[in-house]
């Protein structure tokens, strides 16, 4: 399963994430009932942003003080 997921998140020859490949994960949204899977897809949907000609993902978590804090994820360590 890990290898399948990571194949969607691999960078292309230019070192960029490919929007289409990441969004292909949504095709499998209903195949798993694990809450971590559902939450992961929800975070990807919420974090997608389009800046100029590039695509990016930013994950944030609301702290106890109500402020949003950046979460820095290293996909290669998963």
CA distance 27 to 29: 6
Furthest-apart CA atoms within the chain: distance in Å: 41
User: What is the per-residue pLDDT for 19?
Assistant: 75
Tell me the pLDDT band of 73, cut-offs 50, 70 and 90. confident
Q: How many domains does the chain have?
A: 1
pLDDT in tens, 23-56: 788 888 888 888 988 888 888 888 776 555 556 6
- Domain hosting 44: range is 2-77
* Mean pLDDT, the chain, integer: 78
**Residues contacting residue 24 through CB under 8 Å, at least 6 positions apart:** 8
């Amino acid at each position: 399963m890990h290898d399948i997921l990571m194949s969607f998140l691999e960078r292309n020859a230019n070192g960029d994430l490919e929007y289409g490949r990441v969004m292909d994960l949504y095709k499998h949204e209903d195949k798993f009932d694990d809450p971590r899977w559902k939450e992961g897809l929800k975070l990807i949907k919420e974090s997608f942003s389009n800046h100029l000609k590039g695509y990016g993902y930013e994950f944030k978590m609301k702290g106890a003080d109500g402020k949003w804090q950046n979460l820095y994820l290293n996909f290669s360590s998963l």
